[in-house]
Structure 1
Amino acid sequence: MSYSPSLGSTLTHTKMRTPENVSGFSGMCAVCTANCTGTCEIGLSAIRGSEAIYPYKTDINQFASEKNYPLDFSHFNINGRVFGAQGCAEDANEATFPKADINIEFGINNKVKLKAPIILPAMAKLNWKDYYAGAALAGVLVVIGEDVVAKDKDLMIENGKVTSSPLIEEMINSFRKYYRGYGDIILQANYDDDNLGVLEYAITKLKVKSVELKFGQAAKGIQGMGRVKKIEDALKFQKMGYLLYPDPSDPKVADNYKEGKGQVFEKIGKLPMWNEDILIKKVSELRKLGAEHICFKTGPFDPKDLIRIIKIASKAEVDLITFDGAGGGTGNSPVKMMNEWGMPTVYLESMLHDIIKKFKKKKYNLPQIAITGGFATEDHVYKGLALGAPFINLVGIGRAAMAAAIAGKNIGELIENGTVPKEFQRFGTTKEEIFGDIRELKLYYEDAVSISTGAVGVFSYLNRISAGIKQFMALNRKFKLEYIDRSDIIPLTDLAAQVTGLETYDEIIIRELDSL
């Protein structure tokens, strides 16, 4: 059995001629006939070349791996208990799920209160305005993604450094408009952003308090890539400091472009060339400028590199490292990279648990750790918290939160147009009737009814996640996050038990019976 998908995918807008008869090891149709018009990825490659590597319409879509990984969080079930209570009195009136405390703090020295152990990872496309606003409504962390300045039409640069970015300012203000004392908005920078002084500008001019350095580019870790059709745009990006292939400033390339010859221009992000000294110095400089929280973001790289990142973070007194497992993503990366690169989240988190445990034994001062990569519902979040306990206490939800922002916005527009979808008419016909959590938002905002339905959608979605986490906590008689531990999930397969080292049901029974 092949874990990889066939060569027909919604990611590339392709399909198999005979999807019921596919050769597993190649991903091709079992019979490739002479009269096929080429609807699969090979056919797309035959007419578009290297363009076929990339997902379809990245400006209006988000993507994730289609690979059927041999291990994911479905291989675990959540445990449950019937005696006692941890984190509250053994009182049936007190030990109830709405009272479970899922508040947590972010930051080593400058503590920021969060309403839930959730971070919305880096995003800078699609409905970002409601994504950030919804995070403020919900009181959680949210991250502005890399390379925003490349999208900013009003960007100003002097001597190779950013002096004004109205787009970044607008993104930050989307969060600040609804900030209510919980959560924070973090600005991420990749290697090119760093060279352009994006973080320095944001800290000094926009008073950003939390920033993040990204190891790698684009989704997960590959170089950021984007095809540029016009030579004028290619020259603009080159002037900003980006790598462009072929070189648009080469007269021969320019002449070929005018004649319709040569490759399409590609804007390629630089791979970070950092080391321990550079990063420790960088973190110190950002703090001196006024940053109160410095974060690292990395993908599922070689384990020795991840260990090195943790060591550097410890020495630099970084506040948070977010580790992004294979499987999730938002997508500007080649499809095969999303499918075939890196450790899936369960493998990554299991490995991180053991690595951090070793660091703790050696008395390292460590940052907070967040895990992300494919989390979408409350069972995923609870399992993620349990698998990483006690070392991993934040879970990132990216694609799903953006989906809520998009759905909320679209439904709101339909309500305004008087075309409420049939499936929602059972709730009513007005914004307040259909978006049930506006009632709760009225407790915090006088103008709650005027808040964008996309932002309300994110708030409501995270409300559902929070309620679900509390229910699973109560199921295990645990009413504070600190009591969640690895015994709260049980592996259902041999592979899950082998990778995580968790006790199986059989092992628990043997242990308990031996203690009689």
Structure 2
Amino acid sequence: MSYSPRLSSAFNDTKNRSTHISPQSGMCSFCTEECEGTCEIVLSAVLGAQTVYPTNTGANQVASEKDYPIDFSHFNINGHVFGAVGANKNYDEANIYHVKLEREFGKYNPVKLTMPIILPALIKMNWEDYFGGAAMAGVCCVIGEDARNKDPELQIKDGKVIHFPALKKMLDAFRKYDRGFGQIILQCNIEDDMLGIPEYAIKVEGAEAIELKFGQGSKGTQPVNRLKDINEALKKQESGCLVYPDPSDPDVIKAYEEGVCPNFYTYSRLPLWDEEYLVPRIAELRSMGAKNIYLKMAGYDFEDLKKVILIGSKAEVDMITFDGAGGGSGYSPCKMMNEWGLPTIVMEDAVCTIVESLKKEGLWIPAITITGGFASEDQVFKSLAYGNGIVTAVGICRAAMAAAMSGKKIGEMIKEGNVPKNLKKYGNTIEEIYGDLADLRAIYGKRANDFSPGAIGVFSYINKIAFGVKHFAALNRKFDINYLDRTDLIPLTREAKDLTKGKWFE
């Protein structure tokens, strides 16, 4: 069997003409010249190199379509009926509502979380409610790389950013709901770092936390964007971007004027950071006023994972987030989202193995977050349990953004008097329909009635995840998630058993 998708994808609105498919190639087994052209090959024949990336980017998000041979569904959740761990063995204390979900991490400036959830980097679509909902829920959230490109008022002088007013709006989206839990973090890739975004964020806008990122979307490489003409290419080059071919080259200019110039592309630089750069750079950011420093990594080679953890340990960063194959948001090459990197649970196994080894050497280890395709409470519980006390939090990105988008859209429909049919049984107003609004009022008072429905949607979705995790923890008679471990999981397949026995990398 093949685990790869056919040559059809939501990335590009493509599909196979035939129901009969050649499994290895993903093509229709019977390909005919009479076909009007609906598959990936036809789109590539017309659009060429640009189809390496999803053509459906914009006000949407996409992720891997590959059905990996192992994921968290290969495990069931265990259960017990005797005992009570983390609570006194009585009915008043040993119950679902007393399961402790709080987390705290940080080397020098502790960050408190109401639950073991983080909303990873994103700066597209409804980011205001994504960040606002995180603050309401009391968890961390991350402003995605290249956020500067969202600001039409951005100014760069002598290769450094000197004016980035949109950053304040991004930070304030969290700050205005901040209740002492969680944190908003600015993610910076190599381009952001070279342009001095961390300095600007800390000194001008008072940003408290910076995340340094290895790889675009944590999916391996940096994005390539086609430019419409030489003028746009020159403008990009002037802002410090790499542009190919060089629009300032006289031969290229001549070719453009003669109509024989190839397409212009801008390509972000690959991170070539190492310990010699990162350790002093992180110390420098702290000296500027950064309270917390994070790293963002993905499912790279085992040795690369180990090196990042060692660098994080030496630089005393507060947390490292590892992003496994199966996630994504649409800025990575199509096949890279499907065919690159360690699947999330395999990556988590590798990270845990490395951390356990380094702890035996007496090294201090940053907090660990695992992300990549999480959307429900059973997956979150399984990752925490599989982490054996090593995993501090689980990142939920695409699903939380879906909550932000749908929460906002449904709120708008309700205000217009157009309540969705499937929700009419719950009421006709936002107060009646949004079930966890009462919980927000208990935290913020009656001003919560005026909160954005999108942010309420994010809060409600995360609240549901937390409540579900409490149920699974209580099922295992563990009333503090610090006690979760792999005994709380039941491997269902041979692959799952081999993974837990440490045989995956043999």
Q: TM-score, normalised by structure 1?
A: 0.95
Kindly tell me: are residues 231 and 408 of structure 1, through their superposed partners in 2, closer, same or farther at Cα, counting changes over 3 Å?
Answer: farther
The residue type paired with residue 37 of structure 1 is: E
The residue type paired with residue 499 of structure 1 is: L
SS of corresponding position for 2:210: strand
Distance 1:134 1:255 in 2: 52
Distance 2:256 2:323 in 1: 39
Distance 2:220 2:125 in 1: 21
Please report how far the alpha carbon of residue 410 of structure 1 lies from its aligned counterpart in structure 2 after TM superposition: 0.7
Distance 1:185 1:447 in 2: 22
Distance 2:258 2:13 in 1: 30
SS of corresponding position for 1:393: strand
- Does structure 2 conserve the Cα–Cα contact (< 8 Å) formed by 1:220 and 1:298? no
Distance 2:367 2:243 in 1: 37
- Does structure 2 conserve the Cα–Cα contact (< 8 Å) formed by 1:487 and 1:502? no
The residue type paired with residue 338 of structure 1 is: M
Show structure 2 runs of 5+ residues with no match: none
Please report how far the alpha carbon of residue 218 of structure 1 lies from its aligned counterpart in structure 2 after TM superposition: 3.4
Superposition pairs of residues 432-447 of structure 1, within 5 angstroms: 432-445=431-444, 446-447=446-447
Kindly tell me: are residues 130 and 291 of structure 1, through their superposed partners in 2, closer, same or farther at Cα, counting changes over 3 Å?
Answer: same
Kindly tell me: are residues 260 and 127 of structure 1, through their superposed partners in 2, closer, same or farther at Cα, counting changes over 3 Å?
Answer: farther
Is residue 275 from structure 1 mapped to residue 274 from structure 2 by the alignment? yes
Q: In structure 2, what is the equivalent of residue 247 of structure 1? A: 246
Q: Which moved more, 1:234-243 or 1:24-33?
A: 234-243
Q: In structure 2, what is the equivalent of residue 382 of structure 1? A: 381
- Does structure 1 conserve the Cα–Cα contact (< 8 Å) formed by 2:219 and 2:340? no
Please report how far the alpha carbon of residue 186 of structure 1 lies from its aligned counterpart in structure 2 after TM superposition: 0.5
Distance 1:193 1:81 in 2: 50
Distance 2:259 2:76 in 1: 58
Distance 1:471 1:218 in 2: 33
SS of corresponding position for 2:85: coil
Q: In structure 2, what is the equivalent of residue 264 of structure 1? A: 263
The residue type paired with residue 153 of structure 1 is: P
The residue type paired with residue 344 of structure 2 is: T
Q: In structure 2, what is the equivalent of residue 177 of structure 1? A: 176
SS of corresponding position for 2:296: strand
Please report how far the alpha carbon of residue 106 of structure 1 lies from its aligned counterpart in structure 2 after TM superposition: 2.8
Distance 1:416 1:74 in 2: 39
Q: In structure 2, what is the equivalent of residue 229 of structure 1? A: 228
Q: In structure 2, what is the equivalent of residue 480 of structure 1? A: 480
Superposition pairs of residues 254-333 of structure 1, within 5 angstroms: 254-257=253-256, 261-333=260-332
The residue type paired with residue 383 of structure 1 is: K
Show structure 1 runs of 5+ residues with no match: 504-516
Per-residue CA distance 1:455-491 (angstroms, 9 max, x = gap): 0100000000000010011000111121111111111
Q: In structure 2, what is the equivalent of residue 165 of structure 1? A: 164
The residue type paired with residue 481 of structure 1 is: I
Q: In structure 2, what is the equivalent of residue 199 of structure 1? A: 198
SS of corresponding position for 1:444: helix
Per-residue CA distance 1:45-102 (angstroms, 9 max, x = gap): 1111011111132111211111110001110000001111011100012111111110
SS of corresponding position for 1:407: helix
Distance 2:221 2:502 in 1: 32
- Does structure 2 conserve the Cα–Cα contact (< 8 Å) formed by 1:486 and 1:502? no
The residue type paired with residue 364 of structure 1 is: L
- Does structure 2 conserve the Cα–Cα contact (< 8 Å) formed by 1:221 and 1:298? no
Distance 1:91 1:321 in 2: 38
Distance 1:255 1:448 in 2: 61
- Does structure 1 conserve the Cα–Cα contact (< 8 Å) formed by 2:244 and 2:265? yes
Distance 2:86 2:376 in 1: 24
Please report how far the alpha carbon of residue 261 of structure 1 lies from its aligned counterpart in structure 2 after TM superposition: 4.4
Aligned residues: 502
The residue type paired with residue 275 of structure 2 is: E
Q: In structure 1, what is the equivalent of residue 49 of structure 2? A: 50
Q: In structure 1, what is the equivalent of residue 419 of structure 2? A: 420
Please report how far the alpha carbon of residue 502 of structure 1 lies from its aligned counterpart in structure 2 after TM superposition: 8.3
Q: Which moved more, 1:127-136 or 1:446-455?
A: 446-455
Q: Which moved more, 1:248-257 or 1:233-242?
A: 248-257
- Does structure 2 conserve the Cα–Cα contact (< 8 Å) formed by 1:141 and 1:184? yes
Distance 1:257 1:131 in 2: 43
The residue type paired with residue 116 of structure 1 is: M
Please report how far the alpha carbon of residue 262 of structure 1 lies from its aligned counterpart in structure 2 after TM superposition: 3.4
Superposition pairs of residues 387-402 of structure 1, within 5 angstroms: 387-402=386-401
- Does structure 2 conserve the Cα–Cα contact (< 8 Å) formed by 1:100 and 1:480? yes
The residue type paired with residue 168 of structure 1 is: L
Q: In structure 2, what is the equivalent of residue 11 of structure 1? A: 11
Per-residue CA distance 1:235-270 (angstroms, 9 max, x = gap): 222112111122222344345546654333222110
Distance 1:257 1:431 in 2: 56
SS of corresponding position for 2:216: coil
The residue type paired with residue 56 of structure 1 is: T
The residue type paired with residue 473 of structure 1 is: A
- Does structure 1 conserve the Cα–Cα contact (< 8 Å) formed by 2:370 and 2:393? yes
Q: In structure 2, what is the equivalent of residue 30 of structure 1? A: 29
Kindly tell me: are residues 472 and 260 of structure 1, through their superposed partners in 2, closer, same or farther at Cα, counting changes over 3 Å?
Answer: farther
Distance 1:240 1:255 in 2: 23
Distance 1:106 1:171 in 2: 24
Please report how far the alpha carbon of residue 220 of structure 1 lies from its aligned counterpart in structure 2 after TM superposition: 2.1
Q: Which moved more, 1:211-220 or 1:387-396?
A: 211-220
Distance 2:166 2:500 in 1: 43
Per-residue CA distance 1:15-62 (angstroms, 9 max, x = gap): 1001x2110000000100121122100000111101111113211121
Per-residue CA distance 1:137-156 (angstroms, 9 max, x = gap): 10000000001112211012
Q: In structure 2, what is the equivalent of residue 411 of structure 1? A: 410
Q: TM-score, normalised by structure 2?
A: 0.97
Q: Which moved more, 1:54-63 or 1:324-333?
A: 54-63
The residue type paired with residue 208 of structure 1 is: A
- Does structure 2 conserve the Cα–Cα contact (< 8 Å) formed by 1:131 and 1:455? yes
Q: In structure 2, what is the equivalent of residue 453 of structure 1? A: 453
Distance 2:83 2:146 in 1: 50
Superposition pairs of residues 488-507 of structure 1, within 5 angstroms: 488-501=488-501
The residue type paired with residue 24 of structure 1 is: P
Distance 1:59 1:253 in 2: 31
SS of corresponding position for 2:273: coil
SS of corresponding position for 1:458: helix
Q: In structure 1, what is the equivalent of residue 367 of structure 2? A: 368
Q: In structure 2, what is the equivalent of residue 511 of structure 1? A: none
- Does structure 2 conserve the Cα–Cα contact (< 8 Å) formed by 1:84 and 1:90? yes
Distance 1:235 1:130 in 2: 35
SS of corresponding position for 1:426: helix
Q: Which moved more, 1:69-78 or 1:299-308?
A: 299-308
- Does structure 2 conserve the Cα–Cα contact (< 8 Å) formed by 1:225 and 1:332? no
- Does structure 2 conserve the Cα–Cα contact (< 8 Å) formed by 1:78 and 1:488? yes
Is residue 341 from structure 1 mapped to residue 305 from structure 2 by the alignment? no
The residue type paired with residue 329 of structure 1 is: G
